[in-house]
Structures are given as structure tokens and as C-alpha cells.
Chains A and B, each alone.
Chain A
């Protein structure tokens, strides 16, 4: 193993779902030893589809396999007195705890940050919640769509004639996981200097809002508030159809407007009434119809290549998971990693987020089976005998 940024760091991840698992996955990829601590029935990711072969077996959840990669796994019932006591003993041996329970839940089990700080004065505890640990909404329940509504993105997503629209997938959860990983990273780097504990408080609502660098400051500077776009005459720079799918094009980079006109092969686009973005909007419907006509017989792949290579345009095509699973660019970046999972066998998973010359992403082991490391952790780290481990299992503590 090459030396890694976090190869001296141990982490307990008691989170469930995408955000916390993604956070500790990133830390594990940089060498931290991460122990996923699951409730006896397994964490939520194991119940999330899609499943390998569409078989809803908790070991076959594909997103669990991606986001709990490189971790060890134990089960522990934190809601029992013994379970909570055992957890505290583990906390005394680690550097970081990652959790995403509702504020106050861990406190009710005697496992709040203040409680854990007493057994480990250098602990970094990272909490990810819908609305943060404080403030009038802290007790509110959240979900991806709620974060998108109250984080401000939905207000200007979609069209004016319809309801506000959220992003597809679970973007707020991924964004929150990334923010949790970076704030934990800085807490650990800071701790190297001052040796102090930290409670890292990540709010998913604020994470969503934090991307609105055009939207947020507009109001305090001028009172203006962005809305949703008009459904007609605003297609350019949005998503447009072509022969076999959809594409998007932007002005800028090295392409001039003349380059764009040549790319679309419609000389009338060079006319004065389309000369700048404001004029293109003023004549939007006419503009859109010329573009639609210009692209209706062209394919996504041809346009992507021609626009990018010959005209240096900012151009994207609406790719599908199929396109991305066999994408030569992602392959050249070593994005996927082949793993050998004990239940589903060899499979490739999305793995490397970026390239780095030192401390590179290293695959060590696939996601743990439920309770796979119980015996190892409870005997080696907490000093129980094998018989104790069996008894703890019988008592539903592990």
C-alpha cells in the first residue's frame, strides 16, 4: 500500500442512506479504516434499489456496494444499554464518527457529541441532517425534495406555466456527503495542529442553497429574484431535441457567434436580430424554430464531435446510463473499478472521482456483508471472546 492521507485515521460510520455513506466512502478511499456500524437489520442503503438481478437481497443492493466499498462492517444495536456502552468503547479508539440521525436521537441514547467527547477528547463527530443541529427548523423532517424546495433550487427550476421541479436522482444527498467529507477533512487537518475535538454540523438545506451563487446575492444587491423560465422562446441554452435525442449548447469559450452559425448551417442566424443574448430572447420563438429545423436530422454523437472538435463550442448531449457505462473518456480516467464481491461476483463500480498523483484512490475490499467483521472487531478491538460474541448475538445486541 502506498502512504495515504488518512492511513492513520479510524472512523465509525453509523449513518444510513446516501449522504453519510458517501462521506465515509471518500475518507476510506484515502486510506482511513472505516467501520460501518449497522443496526441488526442492516442500514437503509441495503433496502434501496436497484438490486443485482432485481433480487431485493440486502447483500445485492448496488448502491450499498458502491457507497460502502472499502469499509469493514459490524452490527450493533445502539438502542440497548450494552450496545451503547460497547459503542462508546469503540469511540475511544477512533478519530471520527459519521452519523445522520435526527437531531436529539443520539442524545436520547447517551451518545451525543458531548457524551462522546467525554470518552474521546479528540473526537471529530460529523452530523448530517436536513436542517442542521440548531435553528427553528432543526426538528423538522426532510427528504431530497424538501431540501430542494427549501434550499431554493426548485423556485427557478422547470417552466413558469407549471410547478417548480427538483433535480433527478438524489443529488442533495450526494452533495451533502461531499460537504461532510470536506468539512471532516478540514476538521482533521486542523486537529493535527490544536488537538481539539469538533462537532461538524452539516445542513442539507444549506448544502443545496450553497450552490446558488447567482441567485442568493442578487436580492441583497438589487432586490431582483429569479423565477422559472418561460416555456416558449427560451429553448436555446436549455435542452433541445435532435434526430435521436437531446443536446444543449452555450455561447462562449473559443467559439464566436459566427462559428455557431456555421455549425448550425443556417445563415439567417447571423442576422442582426439574433446578434446578442437579449435580442435572441426578444425573438425567441423564431430563433428556436430555426434551431429545431437545423438539428432535427442530426444525431447527438455527430453534433457533439463536430461542435467540440471543429468549432470549439460548449456543447453537451443528454447521455444515458448506457452511454456512460461504456464511455471511453471515463475509461481513460479510470473511473470504474472492478471489484469481486462475495455474493454477486465480479462487477465494475463507479469509484475514482478525480485523479491524484499522491495518495491515490485505492480499492482494498468490497462492501462488507452484514456483520461480516463482528468477530474480528469485537474480539480484537474490544477484547471479547468468541463465546461472548455468540452470546451478544443471542441477546440481539450485535
Chain B
């Protein structure tokens, strides 16, 4: 009942940025002990970099590297251990720690673990029941791109999604935020559930080698198959439209930057839409009978629907259409989501408290699934850099206090980054003016009750 699926599992997480770190954050939710390993000169980039977002109250504070929002949502519930892995002494501590663990997560380029003698052939000699999980852009092996550097944004073009995404008839478009990183996060979690079950049955560990490129390609399978089977590329950009159903789109509502979407999938929904818009005359108009006709006359339909949606705000459009049985909803931005009753009632948004009074209580998103008999929750904010150094090096691995002090003196371990400069924080009003943010709401704490 209250036993969490990953209770008793120790995970050493040397990965960085989003894909594996976020998977490991969810592993902490699931009850695992997750030790995040960073280097004094190789601090997790989302602690301080351009990806980390604005500081609490947009104030870097004395320890900016412990304070960025993205860091906390990705690395929630972990422990922190700082080791300089370029130093043989740091690498020795890492190896000892991995030998005490169940799972070793890494996202280095293939040569790194090879040079350390911690690639799979070596690691399985040292510990046959370890589960090693690797994430790279293109996957290990001898393929022509295996050593190419990659991030999710470069990958989303290469794995085919950009070609499909964009305004109707327009140029390809970026798909949003690091999409395939999260596909890799979920694949990592799926593979771990399989690996643990396999290990429980056979006693054997394994190596899971994930390449994000391959994952992204799978998610456009219907278009790959059209080419493989028919030699046709029908992945032309259709914006918000549906390839077979009509109408479907995103329509302007009453307010400023206020939008709602809808999709009509059969004749019942079409009739319901016409009636809701007070346009029952359209139901039997031959121009709009059947999806093929509606697809042909989609531009006209967009006009008609847009004129109706403009009379209401996006929430009213949602209610009117959903009440009539039509899939529809508002375009929700981050403020909408953070304050929305449905998200809160489902427990998707969680209040997470920090010991640091300047961090205080913040709202972090949980997981998109629930297990009815196992309550799962975020165990805490992301760890302060190096807060677990003594606990692991002395307490768990048995180094003496003198040896520990030596590691500090030689900068093998630390509780501050080598570079302590905060990223420049702009004035939020300027950032809005520059288009970095859409807007900012000074009432955010009040609206969230934090």
C-alpha cells in the first residue's frame, strides 16, 4: 500500500540538463535514493545557465546555483555529491559509489566512460547486477552520427518532427521546449522498470543505450510507413488542422491573446457545433457535408468559427462546446496551468517546501499518472550543491575525516561551483519588452497561496 516501487533502490546520476536528470527526479518521487553527481567546474548547467529561468523573486541571492526554478523541478528529491571526475581521486569515489548502487545513469559522449573504464564491458565485470543507462543524441555504436554532439532542439529537426510542424503551408517550425528530451526521460523510466524486473528474475544487470534521434523517429511512424510502403511524403505542414477530420483549429476569443481550440470528428459533433454557434443552417449545407467537403472549405469554416469564438472568452468557449459534446479547450499558459482547479484537484501540482526561507514554498508539477494503491509525491526540492558530500564520502564510503579534508583541499569535492557568478538577471519588464517572456504577474504568490 504505502511501499513505493523504487524503495531501497540507489541511483547514481551523473547526467546533465533535462532528459536523464528529469527521469531521475521522477525516480526519487517513486522512492529511490538518487545521488546527483556534479563537478566543481562541471556544475549542472540548469543550476545557472540560460536554461534555468528567472530566480525566485528574480533575485539571484548569495547562492544563485541553488535557486533556479528549472533545476528544482527536474532534480527534486535528490541528494547532491560534488566530485571532480577529471581527478583520479574523484573518479575513484564515483566508482566506489557506483559499486554500492543499483543504477548508474550517464549522458556523456561515448568516449568518456570508455576512458574511465566504466563503459559497459568494464562495468559489468566489476558489478554484474548493475543497471547502466546511457543517453546520447544518436546512440552508441558505429553509426556515422554516433559521435556527433546533439541537443533536443537540433534533434527535433533531424528526427523528422520539424518537417511536420508549422503553420498551414508555411515553413518548418521549432516544436517548443526540448521535446525529445522528455521522450528520452520517459523511455529511461520505462526501460528502468523493465531492467529492474528482469534483474529480479535473473539476477543480471544490463546496459540500456538510448539515442534520442531514434525515439523521435518512432513518434512519426505513420509518416515513415507512408514513405516505406507507398513512396509518398504526406507529412506536409497543416498547422493546427487534422489530416482527416474537419474542422479543427485554434480560434481567437474575446480577450487579448485569448485563444481556444476545437476538433470535430464526426457528423454528430459537426451538428452540435453548428447548433452551438446558432448556425443550424450549416448542418445540411452541401459545402460542409462530410469531412472531405469540410476539409476542402476549411478556410471558410475557420472564418465562421472565428467570428463566433470572438464573442466569448476562452473559458466560455470551452464550456459551451464541451457541454455540447465537442472536444474543445482554451490555450492555457503557465499561469493558467499553475492556478487551474483541475490540475490542483488531480494533485498534479504539488506544493514543495524548502528549508531555505528565501526559496520557501513553491509549486512544482508532479507526474502525469497515478497508481491507485500507491500514493506518490515529490520528496523535496532539488538539493543544495554538495549537501551530501560528507554523508556519502565519509558516512557511506568510509573515508576518514582527514581524507575528506584532503579531497576538499584538492578541490576534488566542494560545496560551491568553481565559478560563482550568477547569470545576468534582467529586469522582468525589460524581458517582457524584448519578448523573452510574454508577461509577468506580480501577484503570483498570492494567486498560488505561497
In the complex the two chains form, what is the Cα distance from A62 to B263 in whole Å?
24
| B209-260 contacts to A (CB < 8 Å) | 209-211, 213-215, 217-230, 232-235, 237-240, 242-244, 248-252, 257, 259-260
List of 5 A-B pairs having minimum Cβ-Cβ separation, nearest first = A227-B438, A185-B193, A168-B164, A332-B143, A316-B154
Task: Kindly list chain A residues whose C-beta atoms are within 8 Å of the C-beta of B189.
Answer: 182, 185-186
Selected contact of A134 from candidates B51, B204, B233, B345, CB within 8 Å: B345
Q: Flag if A50 contacts B222 (CB, 8 Å).
A: yes
B383 at the interface (CB under 8 A from A): no
> Contact flags (1/0) for B117-130 with A, using CB distance below 8 Å?
00010000000000
Known contacts: A213-B18, A277-B50, A318-B157. The answer to whether A136 contacts B342 by CB under 8 A is yes
Min C-beta distance of B17 to chain A, whole Å:
10
Q: Flag if A50 contacts B232 (CB, 8 Å).
A: yes
Min C-beta distance of B71 to chain A, whole Å:
9
Residue from A144, A160, A183, A226 having most chain B Cβ neighbours under 10 A: A183
Residue from A67, A113, A136, A167 having most chain B Cβ neighbours under 10 A: A167
Q: Flag if B332 contacts A3 (CB, 8 Å).
A: no
In the complex the two chains form, what is the Cα distance from A134 to B223 in whole Å?
34
In the complex the two chains form, what is the Cα distance from A230 to B228 in whole Å?
38
Find the B residue at minimum CB distance from A141: B327
A201 at the interface (CB under 8 A from B): yes
Task: Kindly list chain B residues whose C-beta atoms are within 8 Å of the C-beta of A238.
Answer: 173-174
In the complex the two chains form, what is the Cα distance from A226 to B51 in whole Å?
13
Identify 8 residue pairs between A and B in the complex whose beta-carbon atoms are under 8 Å apart, listed by A's number.
A50-B225, A221-B53, A308-B149, A316-B156, A316-B158, A322-B233, A331-B143, A349-B225
Selected contact of B193 from candidates A155, A157, A188, CB within 8 Å: A188
Find the B residue at minimum CB distance from A9: B197
B399 at the interface (CB under 8 A from A): no
| A333-351 contacts to B (CB < 8 Å) | 333, 335, 344, 347-350
Find the B residue at minimum CB distance from A253: B149
List 20 additional A-B contacts (Cβ < 8 Å) besides A190-B371, A253-B149.
Answer: A63-B221, A149-B250, A153-B177, A158-B173, A163-B250, A165-B239, A186-B371, A199-B373, A203-B369, A206-B346, A213-B182, A223-B441, A224-B437, A225-B333, A313-B149, A316-B162, A319-B157, A356-B206, A357-B120, A359-B206
B278 at the interface (CB under 8 A from A): no
Q: Flag if B235 contacts A320 (CB, 8 Å).
A: yes
Task: Kindly list chain B residues whose C-beta atoms are within 8 Å of the C-beta of A314.
Answer: 149-151, 153-154
A215 at the interface (CB under 8 A from B): yes
Task: Kindly list chain B residues whose C-beta atoms are within 8 Å of the C-beta of A247.
Answer: 157
In the complex the two chains form, what is the Cα distance from A334 to B201 in whole Å?
27
Selected contact of B51 from candidates A170, A214, A230, CB within 8 Å: A214
Known contacts: A313-B149, A357-B207. The answer to whether A154 contacts B250 by CB under 8 A is yes
| B128-175 contacts to A (CB < 8 Å) | 138-146, 148-151, 153-167, 171-175
Find the A residue at minimum CB distance from B201: A3
Known contacts: A62-B225, A186-B30, A250-B154. The answer to whether A210 contacts B368 by CB under 8 A is yes
Selected contact of A178 from candidates B178, B187, B209, B263, CB within 8 Å: B187
| B34-86 contacts to A (CB < 8 Å) | 50-51, 53-58, 68-70, 72-74
B386 at the interface (CB under 8 A from A): no
Q: Flag if A239 contacts B174 (CB, 8 Å).
A: yes
Task: Kindly list chain B residues whose C-beta atoms are within 8 Å of the C-beta of A131.
Answer: 342
Q: Flag if A135 contacts B365 (CB, 8 Å).
A: no
Min C-beta distance of B25 to chain A, whole Å:
9
Task: Kindly list chain B residues whose C-beta atoms are within 8 Å of the C-beta of A5.
Answer: 194-195, 197-198, 201
Known contacts: A157-B175, A160-B435, A225-B441. The answer to whether A62 contacts B22 by CB under 8 A is no
Selected contact of B206 from candidates A167, A205, A209, A358, CB within 8 Å: A358
In the complex the two chains form, what is the Cα distance from A246 to B173 in whole Å?
10
In the complex the two chains form, what is the Cα distance from A316 to B438 in whole Å?
27
Q: Flag if A218 contacts B56 (CB, 8 Å).
A: no
Find the B residue at minimum CB distance from A136: B342
In the complex the two chains form, what is the Cα distance from A5 to B191 in whole Å?
10
Min C-beta distance of A383 to chain B, whole Å:
30
Task: Kindly list chain B residues whose C-beta atoms are within 8 Å of the C-beta of A244.
Answer: none
Q: Flag if A113 contacts B143 (CB, 8 Å).
A: no
Min C-beta distance of B437 to chain A, whole Å:
5
The number of chain B residues with a CB under 8 A from chain A is 178
> Contact flags (1/0) for A145-156 with B, using CB distance below 8 Å?
110111111111
A132 at the interface (CB under 8 A from B): yes
Q: Flag if B162 contacts A248 (CB, 8 Å).
A: yes
Q: Flag if B139 contacts A333 (CB, 8 Å).
A: yes
> Contact flags (1/0) for B313-348 with A, using CB distance below 8 Å?
000000000100111111111111110011101101
A330 at the interface (CB under 8 A from B): yes
Task: Kindly list chain B residues whose C-beta atoms are within 8 Å of the C-beta of A140.
Answer: 322, 327, 329
A379 at the interface (CB under 8 A from B): no
Q: Flag if B368 contacts A203 (CB, 8 Å).
A: yes
Find the B residue at minimum CB distance from A308: B148
| Stretch touching chain A among B281-289, B414-422, B442-450 | B442-450
Min C-beta distance of A120 to chain B, whole Å:
14
In the complex the two chains form, what is the Cα distance from A177 to B46 in whole Å?
28
Q: Flag if B54 contacts A328 (CB, 8 Å).
A: no
Task: Kindly list chain A residues whose C-beta atoms are within 8 Å of the C-beta of B111.
Answer: none
In the complex the two chains form, what is the Cα distance from A149 to B177 in whole Å?
15
A179 at the interface (CB under 8 A from B): yes
Min C-beta distance of A10 to chain B, whole Å:
15
A312 at the interface (CB under 8 A from B): yes
Known contacts: A145-B263, A220-B444, A318-B157. The answer to whether A192 contacts B172 by CB under 8 A is no
Min C-beta distance of B155 to chain A, whole Å:
6
Residue from A163, A234, A313 having most chain B Cβ neighbours under 10 A: A163
Known contacts: A190-B371, A220-B448. The answer to whether A324 contacts B217 by CB under 8 A is yes
In the complex the two chains form, what is the Cα distance from A344 to B229 in whole Å?
10
Min C-beta distance of B218 to chain A, whole Å:
5
Q: Flag if B187 contacts A353 (CB, 8 Å).
A: yes
In the complex the two chains form, what is the Cα distance from A317 to B225 in whole Å?
21
In the complex the two chains form, what is the Cα distance from A258 to B227 in whole Å?
40
Find the B residue at minimum CB distance from A128: B369
In the complex the two chains form, what is the Cα distance from A261 to B412 in whole Å?
35
> Contact flags (1/0) for A166-203 with B, using CB distance below 8 Å?
11111100111011111101111110111011111111
B428 at the interface (CB under 8 A from A): yes
A83 at the interface (CB under 8 A from B): no
Known contacts: A183-B369, A222-B69, A348-B228. The answer to whether A209 contacts B337 by CB under 8 A is yes
Q: Flag if B368 contacts A181 (CB, 8 Å).
A: no
